[in-house]
Amino acid sequence: MTKTSEFARALENAIDELKEKGYTDDDVILDCEGNEITQNEIVCSLLAEQVVEALEKQIPRKPITRNELVKTERGYALLDENEQEYCPVCNYFVQPPCERYCSHCGQALDWSDTE
Spell out the domain ranges in the chain. 3-57, 59-115
Q: What pLDDT shows up at residue 108?
A: 94
Residue with the bigger pLDDT between 114 and 60: it is 60
Reduce the secondary structure of 28-85 to three states and give it as a string: EEECCCCCEEEHHHHHHHHHHHHHHHHHHHCCCECCEEECCEEEECCEEEECCCCCEE
Give the Å distances, CA to CA, from 82 to 21, 36, 78: 57, 57, 9
Beta carbons within 10 angstroms of residue 109's beta carbon: 22
pLDDT tens readout for residues 71-103: 666 766 555 556 778 888 888 889 887 889 999
Confidence band for 49, pLDDT divided at 50, 70 and 90: confident
pLDDT tens readout for residues 59-68: 999 988 876 5
Q: What pLDDT shows up at residue 101?
A: 92
